[in-house]
Amino acid sequence: MRLRFLCCFLLLLSGFTALSQDMARVRKTIAALASEEMHGRGYAFKGDSLAANYLEQRYASMGLQSFTAGFRQNFTLPINILDNRLLLEVNGQTLQPGVDFIAHGATGAGAGDGRVYQLDTTLLLDVDAAQNFLATKLRNTVLVVRQRHFQNLLSLPEPFRAQLATVKAVVVLQPGAKVMATVRTEQLPFPVLEVLEKSWPAHAKKVKFAVDARLEQAYKSQNLIGFIPGKLQPDSFVVITAHYDHLGRQGKTLMFPGAHDNASGTAFLLELAHWYAQPQNTPDYSIAFMAFAAEEAGLLGSKFYTENPLFPLAKIKFLLNLDLMSTGEEGMMAVNGSVFPKQFSLLQQLNRQHQFLPQIKSRGKAANSDHYYFTEQGVPSFFFYTLGGTTTEYHHPNDKAETLPLTKFPQVFALIKAFIAAL
């Protein structure tokens, strides 16, 4: 009886240990990555490079090995940088950046004031309306257009594009309750400001604006890559990836912290690195940890890696990409789950056995995070993101470290370790 009790106690103890996590360290990591000092890990004020310095120090402190000097894989990309002024006044009323409006990711630079010209969207369908638009002098106007028509406007033929280039600025009215920003690798020939419809006055007549933007054609960024050699098959790799970049700043005062997206996934990657770096946890396969830049600019960091791998892609046994990892009350999504049914079945089996999460959902192939270009090169990959919770400030200034619940972080951590062991 005593032996049976002892066995049960040890079993429970091992289960607790598997789920135990230094959550204080996790929160400290996320807070550091989402801090004002990191400038939103974007391109204004070199936020991405500051984050890279932080990751390099963390990799080195854990004793990860490196393929390159300083764990860095350098590359360049074109990027539109908004790093000084961002101002919008309508009828003398100042709108609040990040609350009422943001700059379009591809905005051009400009400052001034002008009268409002509300675009007649029938010009997209009606010849007379189109001719009237082409005949109108727009040099001192700020063109106002609804979001659903803006892309169509940009795709009009040359006479219309030339006419558009004469406006002082364009205001794009967005439906919904919140603004949502992006970064872009190109620049439009005029300033573009995105304003919530609910914040735009019904009888707007005059606009004053200022936005600074500069397109850098060869901005220098970097991926951060380290590894732990496996004890049985060091020439085969399991790869853990997460993008550490975010949207950065628009002007000096508006920052997008990117705590959920994706300081949470980056912290997860660092926790896994910390675990496997302990001598007692040395993995059978080598494990590479790849923190990618420029995901928000179109998966450019991971694309560059797949075109310039530091070891053969064929040596990757499986890749796990971690993005949006701060909730989990409703389980987790596995993108590519239906593409790799054998591995997804293993994942489901482990989850049922240990009851880590209420469910794991499956999706097909999607070009929505850094796993994508690996999958396109034949690397078996899952992209994990957590489900549920109240973290909804996607690409918004309120995506802050203190808002993250991290409800199922230890359980997801234990599940991923179990999956890697089962491979």
Interval 171-202: pLDDT, tens: 999 999 999 999 999 999 999 999 999 999 99
Residue 170 has pLDDT above 90, yes or no: yes
Where are the strands (E) in 266-402, listed by range?
A: 285-292, 316-322, 332-335, 360-363, 381-386
Is-contact 176 200, C-beta < 8 A? Answer: no
Least confident residue range of 238-242, 310-314, 391-395, 413-417? 391-395
Closest CA to 290 of 230, 242, 347: 242
Residue 46 has pLDDT above 60, yes or no: yes
Neighbours of 111 (CB within 10 A): 14
The pLDDT-based confidence of 212 (bands split at 50, 70, 90) is very high
DSSP-assigned letter for residue 176 = S
Residue 326 has pLDDT above 90, yes or no: yes
Residue 286 has pLDDT above 90, yes or no: yes
Closest CA to 278 of 330, 315, 321, 228: 228
Average pLDDT value for residue range 366-389 = 97
The Cα angle at residue 251 between residues 245 and 256, in degrees rounded to 5: 35
Q: Is the pTM of this model over 0.85?
A: yes
Is-contact 324 409, C-beta < 8 A? Answer: no
The pLDDT-based confidence of 126 (bands split at 50, 70, 90) is confident
| pLDDT value at residue 379 | 98
Residue 168 has pLDDT above 60, yes or no: yes
Two structure tokens written together for 297: 């600019």
| pLDDT value at residue 392 | 65
Least confident residue range of 123-132, 339-348, 376-385? 123-132
DSSP one-letter string for 85-145 = -EEEEETTEEPPBTTTEEE-TTPPPEEEEEEEEE--GGGGT-HHHHHHHHHS--TTEEEEE
Please classify residue 377 by burial: count the beta carbons closer than 10 Å to its beta carbon, then call 0-12 exposed, 13-18 middle and 19+ buried: middle
The pLDDT-based confidence of 20 (bands split at 50, 70, 90) is low
State how far the Cα of 136 lies from the Cα of 417, in Å rounded to an integer.
64
| Whole-angstrom Cα Rg for the chain | 24
The pLDDT-based confidence of 296 (bands split at 50, 70, 90) is very high
DSSP-assigned letter for residue 370 = T
State how far the Cα of 367 lies from the Cα of 321, in Å rounded to an integer.
12
Average pLDDT value for residue range 74-98 = 97
